[in-house]
Every structure is written in structure tokens, then in C-alpha cells.
A and B are shown apart, each in its own frame.
Chain A
Amino acid sequence: MNPITLLQIELIKTTRRTAFWVTAGIFTLFGILILWAITGATGGLTVNGQQMQGLSLPSSWPTLMNIFKSFSTVFVPVTIILITASEFTFKTSRQNIIDGLSKEEFFSAKLLLVLFVVLVYFLLFFVVGFSFGAASTNWAEVKDPAIRGGDAAIFGAYLLVLFGYGVIAMFFSFITRSSGAALAFCLLYTLIIENLAATFLSLNETIKPAVKYFPTKIFDELLNPLRYDAAMMTQMKERFEQAKQFQPDLKFPDMIDTPVLFAIAIGYIVAIGAATYLVFKNRDL
């Protein structure tokens, strides 16, 4: 079956689901409220005694991405789980296979669903971010267009990370076959277990370097705004050098190269996807 038909099937299931629109609506509201708090109502946020810069475009795309990351990585998995795990609760996954889908096609359809949900949340991020960014920008002073060619890496990283979280959510949905359990395990893993493991393993100097290669650490690092904002990186390094005068043994943190991060993230997505598929393939429906 061709991917377009698979996507059409998933769109019928998804777009008529109230939960999909409710989560997307709450996500948009969250984005608007947070950006409104930063740019308008409070007169801008103060961090470490310094007034935060406005969300002037195009330089603020990394910051916008970083702001949205904090809740996108919860909303995307929640949406995926609500739609995917219910296929097992309703036993419609079984019926879809009986009706003629192969297990490969069903799994592919779910990957397309993850992609669709990620694109929807990316679009919401883009529209809300652009609206606030454009409103904060003094276009008379800005020479660059609102989106520069170099911003493709930012958007690519954001899409990849959301897709990664979506695949993790899909994994837990297929493993637990229950929305509640999948939500609990997914949030527990991404928000607590991996951080706890990282904390404990960091106590061991030998293992510590490996901690930054954990899946969500890789995804988070991929969205580190410093990677995409040369000015911010320069500023950070200058501050670091100043601090080093008082504490000479300070070392600027090792950063994995961005292309390597992309490769590792893709590797994790493929591995988690493959594990999900194998579980689905070998279990009875």
C-alpha cells in the first residue's frame, strides 16, 4: 500500500479525534502565554539580573526553539500516545491487520502519523514564534530576512528532536498498549529516569563522559541555542574566559559536533523504531 493511502487512513483517525485538537490547542495557548510573558506583559524576563533580549528575528530563532522545546517534548509524546495506544485499547490495530494491512504497513502508518503530528506542532511553533518574533522586531534596523538560510539547521534539529520524542512515545505505546501506562512510562523515562541515571552515573568519573550520549541528552543538546547562535556562543566564551581568571582549572564543556549529534540522534531514532517494530511483529494482537 502506498504511503499516501496510509497517511490518509491515519488522517481520518487523527483529525476526527477531539484529544488531538485539544492538545494542539493547549500547546498553542502555552506558547502564546509564555511568549507574551517574555515579550510583553512583564516587560521582558530578567535572568541573572540582566534583562533578556527581545525576540527579534531572525536572531531569536534558537531562543524561540529552546523555549518551545521545553513543552513540545511533552505535548508531542502525549499526542502520539493518545492516538497510538488507543489502537490497542479499541483493538483496532488487530482489526486493521485483519482488514488487510500487513504489520509492516501498520507500523509504517504510525511512523507517518508521528511525522504528521511533528509537522503540526512545528507549524504551531513556527506560527506563534514568528508572530511574536515579528512583533518584537524593529524591521527598519534588521537587514536579514526573517528566516536566514542558516536557520535550516535549527528547524531541522527541532523537527528531528520532536520526531525522536515521538518515536519514544510510539515505543511505549506499542510496549504497554495502554494510554495511561504509556504516558506514565514515557514521561517517567524522559523527565525523571534518564536524569536520575545521568546524575548517579556522573558520580563515576569513568562513566561520566558517556552520560551526554543518553538519548534525551543527545536530543536536548541538539536544541542547545548556543550551537546556532554564533554571537551568543562568543559571548559565553568571553564570560568563561573572565571566570577562568579567578578559577584557572575551569574547562569549557566539551561539545559534541553538531553533525555528529545529528547522526547519533538519527541512530537512536532508527534503533528505537526498530525495537518498536520487532516488539509489534513478534507479539500477538
Chain B
Amino acid sequence: MDIIQATNLTKVYGNTKAVSGVSFAVQQGQIYGFLGPNGSGKTTTIGMMLGIINRSSGDIKLFETDNLDHARHRIGATLETPNFYPYLSGLDNLRIVAKIKNIADARIQTVLGIVKLDKRQKDKFKTYSLGMKQRLALASAMLSNPDLVVLDEPANGLDPEGIREIREIIKGLAAEGKTIFLSSHLLNEVEQTCTHVAVIKKGELVSQGSIREIVSRNLVVMLRAKDVATLQENVARYEHTVAATLDRDTVVAELKNDDLASLNMFLSQKGIYLSHLSQRQQSLEEAFMELTQDAAQIKTPANANMAAAPVVTAGDLNTSEASNKAANK
């Protein structure tokens, strides 16, 4: 069952297309990460999805209905910063949500306990720390035990401990089988939490799929040689190279295929002897950077007119994926 089905969502402000033809589907039980740089159209897309921003065109179905007023009763959502009445206590703010959602007051204490705000429930919202505000927003989203939880930057501005707490709460929701739609800048969190992701850039969806699909599109290899600058220039010229960057004495390259022998052959033909060659899985952060930045920004300026170098043989080859995954963490 498609919990969310967005088809060609478009939002135009004057002459500016904030969101252009965005389509995606979220299935029941998925934890769907929605990624994109600032100003890429994430919040506008979520706003259209929730029916608080009018669409210029396109369709949105939640729980297979386009009656969003009806569907919102099955959703718990927060958008951008936690939006509550600052002069009311956390408890009174949740009372308002409970009345809107027709939930018994007893449930308020349950969710306040889950987010560990039960002892501060009578304090005014404006006295809460940012972490407490985010936790209250999560409590509000969980209040009706919703089938779909939509969270827009739930860890924004939190310290590592706060991020960890929010992650645990989201994992708890996921364990209950909730469908979660999560927008976040914290790619490590998304990678650890989400099953699927979509990446939006300048209002257009540039990629979507399972985390595995997204991160396995390119192979990341690390290479070392005596003359690392020459190595970088030549790796950048290799036909299957997506990006080649220099990290101290190591060239980190993203390749479209996993034919390392071919790369090794190519470099040896240029007279470059590798002292180290290892591969690892691309991280979500790397995939995100690649998808959301222009190719020119990622790919190091290659010297396209370099003369061919003599044929050489590769040196030490190390393709231990596991060891490099560990190093990446």
C-alpha cells in the first residue's frame, strides 16, 4: 500500500519554480529519508504533501486518498521548527493537539513519558531548551499513534546527546511499524535510520531508492602513489571516474564501475605505479554530495591535454571492503 503517492508536484512562486515535477511513493513501513541542500524545496514539498502549501500542479495522495483534510487525522507531523504556543505549558499545548485529534488526555502522559518531558510538562513552552522543544514536537506527532509520522529536521540544532535521543525515539517508532517520512541534514542519522531516500536539488528530484541502491551506484577507491598530484590528474582523466579528490597523501576516487584492474592498467599505461589501492562502499554523505553538487564542483580539474605516460604495473592492491567500512565509521 502506498502511504504517500506524490505525482508531479510543482510549486511556482512568481517566476520561480520552487518545486518542479517531484514524484515519489512511500510504502507502508518504510522509513523514507528526504534529503536536499538548504533551499532545495524539501519543506515546500512536505508542505504540499500535508496540504498547507497549495500546489501549482500535480497530485498528492495520502493513504490512497486525495482528501488531505481526512488523511491528516492519521498523520503526526512537524514542519521546520517546533510550532507551539510559547505562553502555554507543554501539557496545555498537547491538550490542544489532543482536542484536535480527538484523543483522550491520558495519552498525553504516555507520550510525555516517552520523550522524557513528564517532569517539565507544566512549564511554559518558551522556557524549554531547543532539545525539549524538539522532543515536545515528537510527542505531539506521536500523540494519536499515527500511521504516518512526518518529521522535518527533527534534530535541528541539537547537541550529540539530543540527536541520539531523537534517533532512539525514531527507531522506536520504526520498530512499531510506523511509516516515517524524515527530512534531515544529518546524513549519518538518515543512513543509520532510513530504509529509503529521495534526494531533491533545486526543486527537482535527482535520485530515489533504497539506501543500498543510492550508495552503491558508485564505487569509492583510495589510491596512493609516489607522485600524488600526477596520480590525481590521471585518475580524473580515467573514463569511469565520477570524481577524484585529494585527501592528504591519498586520492579518493568515485568510479562508475568496479573494474579496478582496468583502472590499474590505465594508470600503469600512464607510468604511475600504485603503492596502495583499496575500495569501500560509498557513504550516503558522499552519494548526497555527488547528487547535489554540480559535477564541476566535485571533479578535480583534470589536465585533459596531458601526454600519455609509459606503461607501468600496479603495486600493492588492497580491496578489503570491510576494513574500509570500519574506517569510514
Contact = CB atoms under 8 A, between A and B. Distances in A.
A12 B92 contact: yes
- Give the most central of B83, B95, B97, B140: most A CB within 10 Å: B83
Interface string B36-60: 0000000000010011111000000
Given A9-B96, A284-B54, A285-B53, A98 B88 contact: no
Interface residues of B, number: 31
A285 B97 contact: no
A13 B140 CA distance: 16
Interface in B72-118: 72-73, 75, 77-81, 83-88, 92, 95-97, 99-102
Given A92-B84, A98-B77, A99-B72, A12 B96 contact: yes
B161 interface: no
A56 B17 CA distance: 67
B69 interface: yes
B51 A17 contact: no
A3 B53 CA distance: 25
B44 to A, nearest CB: 9
A13 B53 CA distance: 24
A284 B53 contact: yes
Interface in A72-98: 90-92, 94-98
Contacts of B84: 90, 92, 95
Contacts of A94: 52, 79, 83
A90 B72 contact: no
B304 to A, nearest CB: 47
Interface in A196-218: none
Q: Interface SS of chain A: helix, strand, loop or mixed?
A: helix
A245 interface: no
Interface in B2-49: 47
Contact of A98 (B52, B99, B102): B52
A99 B52 contact: no
Contacts of B54: 282-284
Q: How large is the interface on A (under 10, 10 to 19, 20 to 34, 35 or more residues)?
A: 20 to 34
A284 B13 CA distance: 11
Contact of A99 (B47, B81, B87, B97): B97
A90 B86 contact: yes
Nearest to B53: A284
A92 B85 contact: yes
Interface string A1-42: 100010011001100111000000000000000000000000
A91 B83 contact: yes
A284 B87 CA distance: 25
Contacts of A284: 47, 52-54
A101 interface: yes
A102 interface: yes
Contacts of A149: none
Given A90-B83, A94-B79, A284-B47, A16 B88 contact: yes
A204 B31 CA distance: 69
A16 B92 contact: yes
Contacts of A90: 83-86
Interface in A117-133: none
A100 B100 contact: yes
Nearest to B144: A100
Q: Which of B53, B78, B100, B144 has the most CB of A within 10 A?
A: B100
B297 to A, nearest CB: 32
B77 to A, nearest CB: 5
Contacts of A18: 87
A166 to B, nearest CB: 21
15 contacts: A9-B99, A12-B95, A90-B84, A92-B85, A95-B79, A95-B83, A97-B52, A98-B79, A100-B72, A100-B73, A100-B144, A282-B54, A284-B47, A284-B52, A285-B53
Closest A-B pairs by Cβ, 4 of them: A95-B83, A91-B83, A102-B69, A285-B52
Interface of B: 47, 50-54, 69, 72-73, 75, 77-81, 83-88, 92, 95-97, 99-102, 140, 144
Given A94-B79, A99-B72, A99-B100, 10 more contacts: A12-B96, A16-B87, A16-B92, A90-B84, A90-B85, A91-B81, A95-B79, A96-B100, A98-B52, A100-B101
